[in-house]
């Protein structure tokens, strides 16, 4: 079973995304901030990380920098989950290593999240994650 880690400081967002992915048959774990996310990744490397960009403490950008600093973690695909506060400046800073960006306040968020998971998770672990064409923008 594919493992997905959702890192978001918003409890409701974690629950909504987690329920959707659980219903699709994925094993989902949660972290409320970047620090908890790093601890979780240290124990079990997920197959996909859904990452909130703006969080207190270790935010999404810092989490990505730390995650990518170790070679065995460089191949884990990461999807950014952004809110209304996201703008192009923030996204351009964190785009390296991100395969898709989803806007969590959009009505079609659940549908797009399911599409991303279904497209990314069949990849083999030894493949470097590739950006999904047309998905590097807030939706």
Q: How distant, in Å, are the alpha carbons of 9, 19, 30, 103 from that of 12? A: 9, 11, 12, 15
pLDDT tens track for 8-48: 999 998 999 999 999 999 999 999 999 999 999 999 999 99
| Angle (CA) 9 66 43, round 5° | 75
Q: What pLDDT shows up at residue 105?
A: 75
Q: What pLDDT shows up at residue 11?
A: 94
Does residue 64 contact residue 40 with C-beta atoms inside 8 Å?
A: no
Domains of the chain: 3-120 (3.40.50.2300)
Q: What pLDDT shows up at residue 55?
A: 87
Does residue 26 contact residue 69 with C-beta atoms inside 8 Å?
A: no
What stretches in the chain show pLDDT beneath 50? 89, 93-94, 133-139
Q: What pLDDT shows up at residue 53?
A: 82
Does residue 102 contact residue 112 with C-beta atoms inside 8 Å?
A: yes
Does residue 101 contact residue 137 with C-beta atoms inside 8 Å?
A: yes
Which pTM does this prediction carry? Answer: 0.82
Q: What pLDDT shows up at residue 86?
A: 56
Phi and psi for 94 in degrees, rounded to 5?
Answer: -110, 10
Q: What pLDDT shows up at residue 40?
A: 95
């Amino acid at each position: 079973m594919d493992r997905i880690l959702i890192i978001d400081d918003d409890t409701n967002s974690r629950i909504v995304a987690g329920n959707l992915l659980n219903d699709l048959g994925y094993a989902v774990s949660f972290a409320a901030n970047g620090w908890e996310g790093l601890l979780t990744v240290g124990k079990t490397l997920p197959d996909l990380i859904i990452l909130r960009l703006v969080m207190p403490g270790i935010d999404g950008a810092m989490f990505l920098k730390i995650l990518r600093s170790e070679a065995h973690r460089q191949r884990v695909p990461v999807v950014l989950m952004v809110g209304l506060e996201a703008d192009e400046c923030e996204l351009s800073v964190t785009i390296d290593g991100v395969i898709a960006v989803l806007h969590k306040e959009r009505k079609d968020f659940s549908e797009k999240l399911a599409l991303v998971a279904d497209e990314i998770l069949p990849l083999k672990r030894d493949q470097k994650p590739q950006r999904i064409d047309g998905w590097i923008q807030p939706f």
